[in-house]
Structure 1
Amino acid sequence: MTPYDLVLTPRGVRFQGRLYPCSIGKGGIRTDKREGDGATPVGTHQIVGMLYRPDRIDQPAPWAVPIGPHDLWSDASGQRDYNLQVRAPYAHSHERLRRADPLYDLVLITDWNWPVAEAGKGSAIFIHQWRRPGYPTEGCIAFGRDHLHKIARTIQPGARLIVPEL
C-alpha cells in the first residue's frame, strides 16, 4: 500500500490517515460487475487520469487534463472505443463529461476495464463529486466537493482505489 492509496471501508474512504464520507454504486459492491448494474467493482483500481472543468475550477494538479465541450465517455459495450474518452459527434452510447451539474467538474479516472475493455464488464468507474451525502452513484465513488478537491490536490498518478469485499 502506498501513502496515496484510497481504501474503501464500511465508514468511508481512508486516505492519508483521514476518513472521508463517500457514496458508492446503487448496486452495492460486486465481484461480478456488469455494464449498467450500478455496482462498484471489488478490486484494486489504479488512478490513471484526472479531468477537470477549466471554465468552473482551477487546475487541481499539474497532471489534470481539461474537459472540453465535445468530450464524452463511451459506454457502448462491443464498440472498439468502449470505456474510452471520445469526442462528439459520437454515434454510440456515451456519457457527457461536460455536464450541466457539477458532478464531473473534477474526475479521477480508474483503470477499471481499461484501456482494453471487455464487452459488458462495465465502464467509467470514476471518483467524482456526489449529488448529496448518501445518494448512490452508477458504480463510481463520490465525495463531497471539498473532500474531492482536497484529495485531488494531494493524490498522485498511479495511486490506487482499493475496494474490498465488505
Structure 2
Amino acid sequence: MKGIVGKKGFTTNKKEGDGKSPIGMYSFGTAFGSGAKPSGMKLTYKKTTKYDYWVDDVTSKDYNKWITYKGVPTKKWKSFERMNHSLYRYGVVINYNVNPIVKGKGSAIFLHIWRGENGVTAGCVATSEKNVLRLLNWLNPSKHPHIIMDTIETL
C-alpha cells in the first residue's frame, strides 16, 4: 500500500519540529480516533475527545505524552496536537521516543490518515483511511507487531 512520511524525509537524528520521520523499528501503542472502534480490532482503542492533546512542548513535564485536559491548553503548553483532528479519525501511536522520553528528540509520531498520496506529514507515517483501517484490523498485539521506518535504499 502507498504511504507518505515527513516532508523532509527520514533521519537517524530526529529533533522536535524538524519535519522528518525517525528511522528505526518501533512497536505500536494505543490505537485511537474520533470514530467508533473498528469491528474486529484487537489493539487497545481510545476514542478521542476535544479534551485530548499530545504535548510537543519540550519545556513541559508532559512532553511526548497524551494528556486529557479540560482547561485552556494554550495556558498550559507552548505546543501541542489536538487528538480529535480530522487526520486522526483513525490512527495508532508509533512508540518512538517513549522509554525513556528524551526532550527535543521528537514527539507525536503516529500512523494516521493522509491528506492525499502526494502529501507529506510533519514526521508521522500516513496512508488512506481505508488502509489505516485495514492495518488497525490486521495488527495483533499478541504477535508483537512493529513498523520499520527507513528508505528503500537503506533497507
TM interval, short-chain normalised: 0.7 to 0.9
Per the normalisation by structure 1, the TM-score is: 0.80
Q: Which residue, 129, 150, 154 being the options, matches 1:164? A: 150
Partners of 1:22 and 1:78 in 2: CA distance: 32
1:67 to 48, 64, 86: 48
Task: Indicate conservation of the 8 Å contact 1:52/1:106, yes or no.
Answer: yes
Alignment of structure 1 residues 1-166 onto 2, 5 Å: 20-53=1-34, 57-60=35-38, 61-62=41-42, 63-88=44-69, 89=71, 90=73, 91-92=76-77, 93-99=79-85, 102-157=86-141, 158-165=144-151, 166=154
Greater fraction helix? 2
Asked if 2 retains the 8 angstrom alpha-carbon contact of 1:83 and 1:115, the reply is no
3-state SS of paired residue (1:139):
coil
Equivalent-residue separation in structure 2 for 1:160 and 1:113 (angstroms): 14
Structure-2-length-normalised TM-score: 0.86
Query: Per-residue deviation at 1:115?
Result: 4.5
The secondary structure found in structure 2 opposite 1:49 is strand
User: What are the superposed Cα offsets for residues 108-146 of structure 1, whole Å, 9 maximum, x if unpaired?
Assistant: 101101143111100011000000112000000000111
Deviating beyond 2 angstroms after TM superposition, the runs of 4 or more aligned structure 1 residues are: 87-90
SS of the equivalent of 2:87 reads coil
Identify, as 1 or 2, the structure richer in strand.
1
Q: Which runs of 5+ in 1 are unaligned?
A: 1-19
The answer as to whether partners of 2:36 and 2:47 remain within 8 angstroms in 1 is no
Identity percentage of aligned residues: 28
Gap regions ≥5 residues in structure 2: none
Residue type of the alignment partner of 1:141: V
Report the AA paired with residue 95 of structure 1: E
Superposition RMSD in Å: 1.4
